[in-house]
Structure 1
Amino acid sequence: MPAPILPAPILLVIVAAYTLAIAWRGRTFRVRLALPGRGTRGHRMTAWALGLAVSFALPAVLGLALLGQAPLGAGQPAAMRVIPDDWPLLPTTPLVLGMALGSIVNAAITHWRWRRGKTAFEIAHLPDVAPQARSELWPATALSLSAGVSEELYFRLFLPLLIAMVSGDAVMATILATLLFGAVHRYQGVRGMIATTIVGGGLAVIYGLTGALWMAIALHVVIDLNALVVRPLARGAWRRSGPEGRA
């Protein structure tokens, strides 16, 4: 492994202040876009997708480079492993099939409830980005992809690795990174923040058991796609051409 360009303790101080500032602010940095339809849900989702990349993906890639780490290297870095090396890795195929089946079931239940005039169960309420028309589904897809890649690079790889390199405690590093992952989602309210923390812990476990960051990224993307694309589709968003519900 290449030698770190910047000592890990110094980098941790900078990253801790940066992450706590985002958590205190209660949202990621937003990007101002000079695109048509400014102020609409589609515009907000596109700006948010770019903001996530700027807030998390870019710092993660730069931080990993300063630590001499590749963003998507083979396996999990030794410094942050919490699973014994002699444990067999969890196969990814059943997880991929489970994600696909879960999405189908989610769509079926949501559509069934929608046809009967019932609302789908949602832990977090995101009215400003929930698609209402087919024109908003592509921005929602971009937001889901950006969130999955950006947040996993930052909170499942870079941040816990940095904490573990300084503290020597991979378990504590994973827990702290997971708590901070929940904290930066406080715009979703207490219930959403707690749920996000639990989901973050599950994603960390998946990463540890598979040794594959792409698996955690894929699961994160699927979770967001279910919330921002699959459910709106199942509720008839594809039938409406505009945010006002025009057919």
Structure 2
Amino acid sequence: MHISPDFSTLGLALSVPLLGYVLAEGLVGKRSYDRMLRRRDTDPKALTRMFRLWVACAWVSAAAALAVLAVSPGAAASDLGLRLPADPSTTLGMIAGAALAVTLIAFATRFRKDVPAQPALTGMHPRTPAERGWALAMAVTAGVCEEIVYRGLLIALGVGVLGLGPKTAAALALALFVAGHAYQGWRGMLLVAVAGYSLTYLYLSSGSLVLPIAVHVLIDVMAMVVLPAVATRRTAPAAG
């Protein structure tokens, strides 16, 4: 992948608070997650309130990334991966394959009693229709916004501002991406690193965020909506 973004002074100024948010996201996320856990059993809106906050912050950060691009005439949308892949048919096939894999994994877990649980994600499993709706919104939001910010803008800033190669800039962006999930603990961060590396590879190999966004959304929908629903049905007492 080759990109050569040239950010304007205004664009760089706008990126400063966004980078500050990225650096603080792990701490902010952990504090809000811990607060939600403490209150969830006594406050029925604790989870949806946290999801609303996270969704709002994610879309604001994505909007800020797009604003940096908008005020930088020397940076093209393609420098942030905002373009269609060179071979759309192959990309659509890969998205279909990922969707099938997600469905098969979710279906297979329906018949197992020993599905390993990631503690931090278990704490966010929705219990009510409202919580499921916000969990779905959070999954889609994370897939879109995190790719724009972490894979799109941060790699472009690494290349255009720090003079790094795309792979080195991607490695730095991946480290920040993992740090942003500190609320999941070391085990969760390890899984995030594996997923993030795969998403980074998809971006660097295609030069487009279309496939990483689609796969990211599928992963999060499975983890936050599909598998919790499967687990709930599996453990629910049989009627009669």
User: Which whole-Å CA distance do the structure 1 matches of 2:187 and 2:123 have between them?
Assistant: 18
2:21 maps to 1:18 = yes
Shift of the alpha carbon at 1:92? Answer: 0.7
**Do the aligned residues in 1 keep the contact of 2:52 with 2:134 (CA within 8 Å)?**
no
**Partner amino acid for 1:65?**
A
Shift of the alpha carbon at 1:3? Answer: 6.7
Normalised TM-score (structure 1): 0.73
Q: What's the counterpart of residue 47 of structure 1?
A: 49
Q: What's the counterpart of residue 180 of structure 2?
A: 184
**Partner amino acid for 1:50?**
R
**Do the aligned residues in 2 keep the contact of 1:147 with 1:221 (CA within 8 Å)?**
yes
**Partner amino acid for 2:23?**
L
User: Which whole-Å CA distance do the structure 1 matches of 2:78 and 2:49 have between them?
Assistant: 31
Instruction: State how 1:219-230 maps to structure 2 within 5 Å.
Output: 219-230=215-226
Shift of the alpha carbon at 1:128? Answer: 2.8
Q: CA separation of 1:201/1:7 partners in 2, compared to 1, >3 Å: closer, same or farther?
A: same
2:187 maps to 1:212 = no
Give 5+ residue unaligned stretches, structure 2.
none
User: Which whole-Å CA distance do the structure 1 matches of 2:14 and 2:76 have between them?
Assistant: 23
Q: Deviations over 1:131-174 (max 9, x none)?
A: 23555322221221122122112111122212221112122221
Q: What's the counterpart of residue 167 of structure 1?
A: 162
Q: What's the counterpart of residue 98 of structure 1?
A: 97
Q: CA RMSD in A?
A: 3.7
Instruction: State how 1:196-207 maps to structure 2 within 5 Å.
Output: 196-207=192-203
Q: What's the counterpart of residue 63 of structure 1?
A: 65
Q: Deviations over 1:78-112 (max 9, x none)?
A: 8x8xxxxxxx7582123112222212211222101
Q: What's the counterpart of residue 137 of structure 2?
A: 142
**Partner amino acid for 2:196?**
G
Q: What's the counterpart of residue 84 of structure 1?
A: none
Shift of the alpha carbon at 1:179? Answer: 0.6
Higher alpha-carbon deviation: 90-99 or 230-239:
230-239
Q: CA separation of 1:44/1:157 partners in 2, compared to 1, >3 Å: closer, same or farther?
A: farther
User: Which whole-Å CA distance do the structure 2 matches of 1:44 and 1:212 have between them?
Assistant: 36
**Partner amino acid for 2:198?**
G
Shift of the alpha carbon at 1:69? Answer: 6.8
Aligned length: 223
Q: What's the counterpart of residue 107 of structure 1?
A: 106
Q: CA separation of 1:233/1:26 partners in 2, compared to 1, >3 Å: closer, same or farther?
A: closer
**Partner amino acid for 1:94?**
G
Percent identical pairs in the alignment equals 30
Shift of the alpha carbon at 1:127? Answer: 3.2
User: Which whole-Å CA distance do the structure 2 matches of 1:28 and 1:206 have between them?
Assistant: 31
Which secondary structure does the structure 1 equivalent of 2:161 belong to? Answer: helix
Q: Give every structure 1 segment of 4 or more consecutive aligned residues whose post-TM-superposition deviation is greater than 6 Å.
A: none
**Partner amino acid for 1:210?**
S
Q: CA separation of 1:200/1:236 partners in 2, compared to 1, >3 Å: closer, same or farther?
A: same
Shift of the alpha carbon at 1:27? Answer: 3.5
**Partner amino acid for 1:77?**
D
Normalised TM-score (structure 2): 0.75
Could you say which structure has the higher helix fraction?
2
User: Which whole-Å CA distance do the structure 1 matches of 2:77 and 2:49 have between them?
Assistant: 32
Shift of the alpha carbon at 1:191? Answer: 0.9
